[in-house]
Amino acid sequence: MDTIDPRPRVPVTEEDRLARLKALDILDTPPEESFERLTRMASTLLEVSISAVSLIDESRQWFKSVVGLEVRETAREVAFCAHAMRGDTVMEIPDATNDPRFADNPLVTGEPGIRFYAGAPLKTHDGVPLGSLCVIDRKPRTLTPTQRQVLQDLAAMAVDAIDLRIALRDATDREEAAQVATAALAASEAAQRAVLDTAVDAIITIDERGIICTVNPATVRLFGYAEAEMVGRNVSMLMPEPHAAAHDAYMARYHRTDEPHIIGIGREVPARRKDGTLFHAELAVSEMWVNGVRGYTGILRDITHRREIEDEVREKNRLLSLAEEVGQVGHWRVEEETRTVEWSDGMYRIYGLDRDSFTPTVDTVMTRMPERDRERVSTAVAATRTDGTPFTLDHAIILPDGTERVVSSSGRQERDEAGNPVALFGIMQDITERVRAQERLQVAIDHISDGFVLMDEQDRIVVWNDKMLFLYPRAAPLVRMGIRFEDLVRRGVAEGQYPNAIGREDEFIAERMARHRLPVESYEERLVDAEGRERYVRVTERNLPDGGRVGIRTDVTDLRVAQREADAANQAKSAFLSSMSHELRTPLNAVLGFAQLLEVSRKDPLSEKQQSHVKQILKGGQHLLDLINEVLDLARIEAGKMTLSIEDIDAADVLGECLPLAETLANKRAITIRVDVTDPAPRVRADFTRFKQVLINLLSNAVKYNREAGRIIVAVAVNLETRTARFSVADTGHGIPTEHMDGLFEPFNRLGAEATEVEGTGIGLTLTRELVERMGGSIGVESTVGKGSTFWVEVPLAENCPAGAAAAHEAKRAEQALDEGEGAPMEVLYVEDNPANMRLMEEVMEDFGTVQLQTAHTAELGLEMIACGRPDLVIMDINLPGIDGFEAVRRLRADPATAKLPVIALSANATAASIQKGLEAGFDAYLTKPVVIPELMGAIDRALKETSR
């Protein structure tokens, strides 16, 4: 009984420990039920496959009782229990492969493949270690605090069993021995009952017929039955069908064959509560023999919640695996202490490997990487392990066939609750296709003929091409990934890249960046290339939805040079046309002027034959004048110098001025004109003068190319959907063949009419189309050979269209106004250096007896004559010797005495710029040569009336 006597706790030598163990006389003894029961309970309660009562002698660990192993002893040097017995509490090893003390232990690397171990020391009451009660599993795990307490309680029971064995052996008196045994047994049973009553799992004992013998409180709570409702009934009452019906047959088969289905194995089974609800349970059944009678102990645990969690985890793992497969992603983990590497399935897919043929380690993983990347990756990983800084980098890996793939790796440090590093965790993604696409994109960008630049949301350069560097050579050395756009602009300014920035650098940078911040920008900038030559670049930039910005730089230097040459050519052409116009109009003025005088002379009327000859002169002269005017108009349009005054105008007013002219032409050929216009006529947006020119051209063509005694229909229709008005002119002429339609609006193309008696220049329709399009309209034609043609023009409606229009504009005849004048003769001064033009004007004024004409051949002489005797009206040429007409009229307007004197310009300078310049200088009217006598009379009448107000 010495082992249960209290003794002082003093250090025990190994020699003393071995002596005490041998004194127990327990080594190499047969199995005993009291110890067998303890190991069965340990396996069942702690849900492990192996449990043992292990005693350690000088060379071995010997198992007094063992469950789950065929051997009864192992060498001491590999025994886990040799370590566990030295402690005072449970020694727990969650995963032996990660514990440097046991990782290479043959019991770990070989059979039985220990991963989990927990051992409670077996010590005498005076502290002498004998061995341990241990539980072992083949998979990593940890004990809950309750399970650790159960293991310690079972170890205490094992020590009690050892004490009871000693007591029974050493008792000299049977009665004393019986009393001692009874007391020890009672204590053991009480301890066992306490374990059963406090267990969280349901514990049920049944006999070999399946009748329930005992249940613990946890069973009552789990199934909802009272203890009395279960004891004495078949355990199948706790099972759903068809399991309940098959239970008795199963037990009979086991008794007959000893082949276990659940016993000693454990499995998940369905169970049924008193209220009929079903739940998932984990069942462990062990066989026991008591006094030669077989029985069974079953431990059940409700694993419904665990199953739900497992299902949820399993689904999440499935989705994670699917996501990794779809996204070509894998994750990895490296234990900090053991450097053990774990790979997900995605990692094996990326590397083209499988778990059976490859075990990842730090070294083997590095060998799967090209040497050029190893140092960079190792440096990044080392930095993360040292200071915890996460890393992300792209590198290559080598597949089993030797080919390379590009991956993006990211990793960070994993720490425990105390902040200590425990592992590195990271992900890897195969970005090979993305990198190849980026490389192809970069090649494509490099082959773009324009400069290309891409900025991120922080306005940093991320993509550019060689053409961009070529266009900005002085800022090119600074271009790199991540450089700010503003830094490039500043570098360019500092290096003289932008000539417009010289002397105003800060202002230029502010303006440039303000443009750069606009959602969309497009403008042209002047640069200096590497050789110091000027270049012109079209800058186009646009914001992107992700916050970035894309820019295109188009070299327009050649275009600018060509434009300059074209401008110079246009200027030369304009100068030529202006000169030609002036030189042709001057003699033509005399030709047409004197011809008009001959035609209307009252003093010397012409014979009928002479009248015919004069009409031919006027006809030819007018045709030449029309050609000059149309060529000048076309040149103005092509040069972009024709100014239009777009305003709201009445269609009735325009037609009122056009139709009388057309009717005069039509009457000569017995052609009738019908007008189909709604009342009120619409208002349209157009230039009044140019729109009148368009309609007169269409009307005159309808007369010229019509049949004798034909018809013309003028119609105006409004389309409110398109907000346009269509003016159409239909004739009953010969029509236009389809093959001539394409050349209809080509300049100088008369489509064969030049071989007929119909006069024309071939410019009219070209000029008409240009004018219509510049007024925002369109023109078209519909024609049927043999029936006639319809030309139409569409122009935008005015905002307040349709609106009423006044009656057609009533033509005024200036010569009638002069004829009806009364009182003293009117004094007119004509300033002109050309004698023929002077003679013409004298003849014109002589025909009207109410006019006294004076002439001056220079502006200076004219100003002197005006100062000496103020005339009623001045008619002045522009191109004069000495000061020109512009300067002369300015001087007149500057003098209060002559500021309101009516002055009319009459010049061969017929360009729009000259006319505008004359009106701005102060002329009351600007007429062009050759003079049209009615127009001259009308201008005189208007000027005099303005002065008289």
372 pLDDT tier (thresholds 50, 70, 90): very high
pLDDT at 391: 93
User: How far is Cα 567 from Cα 623, in angstroms, rounded to an integer?
Assistant: 30
User: How far is Cα 811 from Cα 658, in angstroms, rounded to an integer?
Assistant: 10
895, 828, 896, 894: which is closest to 862 by C-alpha?
828
pLDDT at 240: 92
Residues 6+ apart with CB under 8 A from 560: 536
747 pLDDT tier (thresholds 50, 70, 90): low
Sheet of strand 873-876: strand arrangement: 851-856, 826-831, 873-876, 903-907, 925-928
Three-state secondary-structure class, residue 214: strand
- Using one digit for the tens of pLDDT, what is the confidence trace for 261-298? 667 667 888 999 999 999 999 888 888 887 788 888 88
pLDDT at 314: 83
693 pLDDT tier (thresholds 50, 70, 90): confident
pLDDT at 227: 92
**pLDDT exceeds 50 at position 8:** no
pLDDT at 187: 66
**pLDDT exceeds 80 at position 579:** no
Share above pLDDT 70 across residues of the chain, in percent, rounded to a whole number:
85
**pLDDT exceeds 70 at position 58:** yes
**pLDDT exceeds 90 at position 117:** yes
Arithmetic mean of pLDDT, 462-467 = 88
pLDDT at 504: 93
C-alpha distances out from residue 855 to 822, 838, 842, 929, Å: 24, 7, 9, 18
- Using one digit for the tens of pLDDT, what is the confidence trace for 47-56? 898 999 999 9
More confident residue, 910 or 789: 789
**pLDDT exceeds 60 at position 804:** no
Residues 6+ apart with CB under 8 A from 768: 693, 694, 697, 698, 779, 793
pLDDT at 587: 75
200 pLDDT tier (thresholds 50, 70, 90): confident
904-933 per-residue burial string, b: 16 or more CB within 10 A, e: under 16: bbbbbbbbeebbebbeebbbbbbbbbbbbb
**pLDDT exceeds 70 at position 577:** no
pLDDT at 629: 67
| Beta-sheet pairing, 404-415 with 391-398 | antiparallel
pLDDT at 278: 93
pLDDT at 277: 93
- The reported pTM is 0.38
**pLDDT exceeds 50 at position 231:** yes
Write phi, then psi, for 378 (nearest 5 degrees): -60, -40
**pLDDT exceeds 80 at position 439:** yes
Min mean pLDDT across 235-249, 512-526, 792-806 is at 792-806
- Using one digit for the tens of pLDDT, what is the confidence trace for 810-854? 333 344 444 444 445 788 999 998 888 888 888 788 766 677 888
- Enter the tokens of residue 630: 């149309």
**pLDDT exceeds 60 at position 915:** yes
Q: CA torsion sign, 578 to 581 to 585 to 587?
A: positive
pLDDT at 620: 67
pLDDT at 937: 80
Arithmetic mean of pLDDT, 701-708 = 89
More confident residue, 325 or 43: 43
pLDDT at 756: 53
**pLDDT exceeds 70 at position 631:** no
Give the distance from CA 737 to its chain's centroid: 54
- Using one digit for the tens of pLDDT, what is the confidence trace for 397-431? 999 999 999 999 999 999 988 889 999 999 999 99
Arithmetic mean of pLDDT, 172-200 = 63
**pLDDT exceeds 60 at position 662:** yes
